[in-house]
């Protein structure tokens, strides 16, 4: 059910004021991109922003990098369908966040440009190569989910006049132009604007839906089964097993995200990174409450199961917020895709030029590397768009990513905590968990919410088991490599002389 606002002089179902706001927004973003382009003086500025960002920027960067339109669309969609239990699609990190505080310094202290460098430092070049490929695949997946969520939102905001396909292609062109211009500096500044807009829009929608529904009394009278709608579990779909399995899975996922390195290393100090990452993630949880509540209240406003869940968030913005806000939301979505797309493109091109090309013994000059990374960006975007068309809906696309990323994250934890873990075990954990995922989805047909925790348990158990057994059966990594790795990740940035002395002693 896509409604149309009365008496509205509409261009593609949006008021002229909405389009003016979109235009102004884009002018500002292009100005930021041009300004950022002037600051890119070397390849590290392009990839990690030269470790120059303060606390507030890091909070909004962490929030923005982890929050896309698909987050709002997916949670609202699931909450509209399942009730408050839909919140778990983004709420699973709530009890993991304190662990991120402990984990954050590891990435900064590793002194790596890409996550693949981290794997290479711990396990040797072959794992760096594996992560290089896998990281690019993961980024293509993330991009496709972000594009799908945003395209669905634009489709519903414009009442179907701008189709998902057109929206996808327009957004791809926008973020490609943006990332090619300014690298991570442009992306981080965009996160600040987009992050602020996303928070405002997420919080702002709640009082409007609340009033339209008639508050608590209205919701109780309009929602058929209020107890089920406001339960944090959905029988047969999201239960305690689902929640615990998804939380554990998330710990294997968060460490293997290709942008985790810049998320935790782009700040000026270790504390800036810690506060930025944890506060950014927590801020997202505040928005998650708003998205879930919005989804459940939409049951009362539109009636349950009267529209595609993916369209609920956009329809509410269009139908309930004053003129101009739909334009602001549209601008916010575009900004979200632009900066997330930019981050994915930048981290992927870093993986390609830094890790994969290095395997081919190529060390190009800065200008050549920048040119190669920009050409690669275009190929990467095409792959992302192609994958977008294979997803059926936003929650399914999110589950696809929940399952894909941890496959390479198992070896991260083994390597971080267990000296005996070696490259053979790391390869075995990746191969075994990948095979288990394929067998689970194709042979046992463990798909959808119902079988989600069983599938997670199966591939994590296979990956961990194979990693441990093969490591024990094969030759350990050299003590020099292990000592160098553990000394590095335990020495804060700034104590380089001591580190050099220690690693020099090892040599």
Closest by Cα among 397, 200, 170 to 287: 200
Instruction: Tell me the torsion sign for CA atoms 381, 385, 387, 391.
Output: positive
Identity of the residue, 148 or 223, whose beta carbon is nearer to another protein in the bound complex: 223
Letters for 204-223 (x = contact with another protein by CB under 8 A, - = none) are ------------x--xx---
Residues 134-153 that bind another protein (CB under 8 A): none
The token duo for 163 is 């189709």
What Å distances lie between residue 282 and 98, 237, 345, 374, CA to CA? 10, 25, 25, 33
Binding of another protein by 226 (CB under 8 A):
yes
β-sheet bridge partners, residue 238: 234
Closest by Cα among 130, 144, 186, 152 to 73: 152
Binding of another protein by 468 (CB under 8 A):
no
How many residues are given for the chain? 507
Q: Exactly one of 14, 87, 136, 436 binds another protein (CB under 8 A); which one?
A: 87
Q: Exactly one of 16, 230, 434, 439 binds another protein (CB under 8 A); which one?
A: 230
Q: Exactly one of 11, 271, 375, 438 binds another protein (CB under 8 A); which one?
A: 271
Q: How far is the CB of 86 from another protein (least distance, A)?
A: 12
Q: Exactly one of 196, 434, 454, 491 binds another protein (CB under 8 A); which one?
A: 491
The token duo for 23 is 């235009």
Contact present, 106 and 181 (Cβ < 8 Å): no
Q: How many residues of this chain bind another protein (CB under 8 A)?
A: 45
Contact present, 253 and 281 (Cβ < 8 Å): no
Q: How far is the CB of 483 from another protein (least distance, A)?
A: 6
Identity of the residue, 39 or 285, whose beta carbon is nearer to another protein in the bound complex: 285
Contact present, 384 and 147 (Cβ < 8 Å): yes
Contacts of 493 (CB under 8 A, 6+ apart): 108, 109, 111, 270
Q: Exactly one of 278, 298, 316, 470 binds another protein (CB under 8 A); which one?
A: 278
> In b/e form, how buried is each residue of 310-328, taking b as 16+ CB within 10 angstroms?
bbbbbbbbbbbbeeebbbb
Q: Exactly one of 8, 95, 322, 474 binds another protein (CB under 8 A); which one?
A: 95
Binding of another protein by 101 (CB under 8 A):
yes
Identity of the residue, 37 or 94, whose beta carbon is nearer to another protein in the bound complex: 94
Identity of the residue, 307 or 502, whose beta carbon is nearer to another protein in the bound complex: 502
| Window contacting another protein (CB under 8 A); options: 84-92, 145-153, 236-244, 309-317 | 84-92
Q: How far is the CB of 121 from another protein (least distance, A)?
A: 14
What Å distances lie between residue 425 and 34, 121, 264, 462, CA to CA? 46, 15, 27, 12
Q: How far is the CB of 132 from another protein (least distance, A)?
A: 25
Residues 415-444 that bind another protein (CB under 8 A): 416-420
Binding of another protein by 229 (CB under 8 A):
yes
Letters for 286-315 (x = contact with another protein by CB under 8 A, - = none) are x--x--xx--x-------------------
The whole-angstrom separation of Cα 464 and Cα 72 is 33
The whole-angstrom separation of Cα 357 and Cα 71 is 34
Residues that bind another protein (CB under 8 A): 84, 87, 91, 94-95, 97-102, 105, 216, 219-220, 226-227, 229-232, 271, 274, 278, 282, 285-286, 289, 292-293, 296, 416-420, 483, 486-487, 490-491, 501-502, 505-506
């Amino acid at each position: 059910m896509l409604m149309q606002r009365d008496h509205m002089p509409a261009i593609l179902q949006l008021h002229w004021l909405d389009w003016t706001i979109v235009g102004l927004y884009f002018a500002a973003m292009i100005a930021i991109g041009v300004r950022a382009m002037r600051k890119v003086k070397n390849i590290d500025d392009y990839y990690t922003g030269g470790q120059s960002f303060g606390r507030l920027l890091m909070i909004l960067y962490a929030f923005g990098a982890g929050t896309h339109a698909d987050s709002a669309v997916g949670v609202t969609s699931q909450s509209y369908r399942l009730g408050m239990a839909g919140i778990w699609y983004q709420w699973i990190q709530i009890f993991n966040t304190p662990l991120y505080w402990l984990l954050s310094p590891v990435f900064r202290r590793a002194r790596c440009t890409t996550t693949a460098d981290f794997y290479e430092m711990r396990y040797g070049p072959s794992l760096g190569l594996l992560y290089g490929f896998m990281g690019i695949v993961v980024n293509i997946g993330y991009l496709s989910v972000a594009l799908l969520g945003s395209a669905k939102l634009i489709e519903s905001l414009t009442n179907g006049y701008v189709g998902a396909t057109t929206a996808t292609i327009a957004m791809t062109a926008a973020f490609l132009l943006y990332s090619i211009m300014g690298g991570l500096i442009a992306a981080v500044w965009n996160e600040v604007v987009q992050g602020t807009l996303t928070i405002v829009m997420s919080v702002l929608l709640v009082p409007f839906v609340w009033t339209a529904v008639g508050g608590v009394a209205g919701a109780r009278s309009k929602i058929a089964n209020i107890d089920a709608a406001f339960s944090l579990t959905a029988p047969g779909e999201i239960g305690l097993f689902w929640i615990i399995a998804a939380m554990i899975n998330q710990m294997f996922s968060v460490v293997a995200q290709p942008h985790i390195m810049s998320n935790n290393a782009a700040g000026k100090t270790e504390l800036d990174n810690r506060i930025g990452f944890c506060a950014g993630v927590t801020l997202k949880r505040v928005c998650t409450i708003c998205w879930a509540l919005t989804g459940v209240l939409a049951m009362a406003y539109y009636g349950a199961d009267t529209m595609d869940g993916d369209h609920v968030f956009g329809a509410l913005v269009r139908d309930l917020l004053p003129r101009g806000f739909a334009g602001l939301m549209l601008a916010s979505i575009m900004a979200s895709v632009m900066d997330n797309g930019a981050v994915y493109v930048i981290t992927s091109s870093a993986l390609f030029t830094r890790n994969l090309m290095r395997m081919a013994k190529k060390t190009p000059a800065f200008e050549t590397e920048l040119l190669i990374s920009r050409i690669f960006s275009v190929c990467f975007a095409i792959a992302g768009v192609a994958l977008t068309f294979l997803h059926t809906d936003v929650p399914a696309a999110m589950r696809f990513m929940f399952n894909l990323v941890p496959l390479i994250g198992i070896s991260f934890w083994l390597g971080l905590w267990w000296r005996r873990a070696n490259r053979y075990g790391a390869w075995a954990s990746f191969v075994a968990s990948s095979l288990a995922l394929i067998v689970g989805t194709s042979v046992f047909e463990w798909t959808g919410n119902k079988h989600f925790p069983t599938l997670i348990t199966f591939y994590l158990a296979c990956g961990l088991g194979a990693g441990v057994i093969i490591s024990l059966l094969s030759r350990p990594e050299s003590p020099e490599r292990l000592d160098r790795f553990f000394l590095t990740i335990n020495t804060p940035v700034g104590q380089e002389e001591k580190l050099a002395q220690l690693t020099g002693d090892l040599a």
